[in-house]
């Protein structure tokens, strides 16, 4: 029978604002030292339940298809499952040679897929949820910033494939918040108005409510301003290198 200590060990996970736990692992792209190898870049570390499963296959095709889009946003992808390296390689080869999904085919997965047979990494990151499965990782997504800090976490059950528009939207929103010292409201996309921090004093609050500058204030605590989509993307996305 599983003890309370064993259950806590399985479900422990880093929290938002924590340093991402370090580990060294074998992957389909060689050995990585995480997150040190990705210093200066954003990383999305995500887990999946098992190789050769249909929902996971659809996700890996989608992630691989979008890899260059994430790369332009200075973000690397790193996958994990508790299957072995040879299983990973065979599965990814099958995806490239045989599987088509949503019009995407001949997709080669180039980002690392971690071998985690011992479940050490999965347990460290709380990817094993005993109430869902004791032998498979749930669909966890960790957003880790260029300083190695966990900035956001999304968890999905085994049966639910991830929404990749939301994963990319969240990445761009956090980068926008960092770059322009703003917050983003519900359902925000680049080009929508952003939120500025609430006033810290009565004087500032009154000034905002009576100001005729770029702010739009519904009340003293709810002020927005326009932030052009091109301004955001120019500041965040990598510029294409022009070959001479």
Binding residues: 139
22-54 b/e (C-beta count within 10 Å ≥ 16 → b): ebebbbbeeebebbeebeeebbbbbbbbbbebe
End-to-end CA distance of the chain: 66
- Residue 82 is classified by DSSP as S
Known binding-site positions for substrate:
139
Q: How many helices (H) and strands (E) does the chain have?
A: 7, 10
**Tokens describing residue 137:** 């990782």
- CA–CA separation, 224 and 202 (whole Å): 18
Assign 81 to helix, strand or coil: strand
- Residue 202 designated active-site: no
Distances (CA, A) of 120 to 12, 39, 45, 84, 140: 12, 22, 15, 13, 15
Q: Are 58 and 95 in contact (CB under 8 A)?
A: no
Residue with tokens 């956001």: 152
Q: Which residues are catalytic?
A: 56
């Amino acid at each position: 029978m599983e003890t309370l200590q064993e259950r806590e060990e399985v479900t422990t996970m880093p929290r938002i604002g924590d340093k991402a736990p370090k580990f060294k692992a074998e992957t389909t792209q060689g050995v990585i030292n995480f997150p040190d190898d990705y210093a200066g870049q954003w990383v999305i570390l995500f887990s999946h339940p098992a190789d050769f499963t249909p929902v996971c296959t659809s996700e890996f095709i989608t992630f691989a298809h979008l890899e260059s889009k994430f790369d332009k946003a200075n973000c690397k992808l790193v996958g994990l499952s508790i299957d072995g390296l040879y299983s990973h390689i065979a599965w990814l080869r099958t995806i490239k040679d045989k599987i088509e999904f949503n019009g995407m085919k001949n997709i080669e997965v180039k980002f690392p897929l971690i071998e985690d047979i011992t479940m050490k990494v999965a347990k460290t990151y709380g990817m094993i949820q005993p109430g869902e499965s004791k032998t498979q990782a749930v669909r966890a997504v960790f957003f880790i910033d260029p300083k190695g800090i966990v900035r956001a976490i999304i968890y999905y059950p085994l049966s639910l494939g991830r929404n990749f528009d939301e994963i990319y939207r969240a990445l761009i929103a956090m980068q926008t918040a960092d770059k322009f010292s703003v917050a983003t409201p519900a359902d925000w996309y680049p080009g929508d108005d952003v939120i500025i921090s609430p006033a810290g004093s009565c004087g500032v609050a009154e000034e905002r409510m009576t100001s005729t500058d770029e702010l739009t204030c519904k009340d003293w605590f709810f002020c927005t301003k326009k932030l052009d989509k091109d301004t955001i993307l120019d500041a965040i996305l990598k510029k294409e290198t022009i070959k001479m």
